[in-house]
Amino acid sequence: MEIEQAIRTRRTHKAFGQDPVERKTLDELLELARWAPNHHRTNPWRFRVLGPDARARLKQAAGTAHAAKLDRAPTLIVVSAALTGDPLQDAEELHATAIAAYIVLLGAHARGLAGYWRTPAVLRTVDGRAAVGLAPQEQVVALIHLGPPSQEPSPPTRDDPPAYVTYLD
């Protein structure tokens, strides 16, 4: 798949088939993520692929009202940025990690997989962070849901470039 086609056709999926993403494919996607640009080559991104026990801990931390959303996709990946405490550097680390997460989504799409980027509140709680082993200096960027698609979402309406682009002299 060409990069422009991947960018234009990737969609947020909220319904998935049951088969988890194979370990080999996950390894390929996470290897791609390391090519995200990052200031001073710090590689701030951290990826945690949740197995059944980790998912169960996270669901327990989320509580019954929110646990069902954690079962939407067969594969979940917590994406976090390792921060330094320096505000400027940390901003760069967060942006680099967001790009790495998007690379995973684009790579998954190019392989025919469905994806969904979430930022659930449970990963900002003490219990949720403990459930997935986040260190104090890590900030959650995404919870990526991956799996085979079970539907094809419609393309969203997007503004044309004149609505958000300004050329300055």
pTM over 0.85: yes
Per-residue pLDDT at 30 = 98
Per-residue pLDDT at 154 = 83
Task: Write out residues in the chain with pLDDT < 50, as ranges.
Answer: none
**Cα 148 to Cα 34: distance, rounded to the nearest angstrom:** 24
Task: Give which of 57, 96, 97, 100 is closest to 80, Cα–Cα.
Answer: 97
Per-residue pLDDT at 1 = 83
Per-residue pLDDT at 43 = 97
**Cα 157 to Cα 130: distance, rounded to the nearest angstrom:** 38
Task: Give domain limits for the chain.
Answer: 3-151
Per-residue pLDDT at 155 = 82
Dump pLDDT digits (tens) for 100-147. 999 999 999 999 999 999 999 999 999 999 999 999 999 999 999 999
The tokens for 151 are: 């539907």
Per-residue pLDDT at 153 = 81
Tell me which of 3.40.109.10, 2.130.10.10, 3.80.10.10, 3.30.70.2520 is the CATH number of domain 3-151: 3.40.109.10
Per-residue pLDDT at 111 = 96
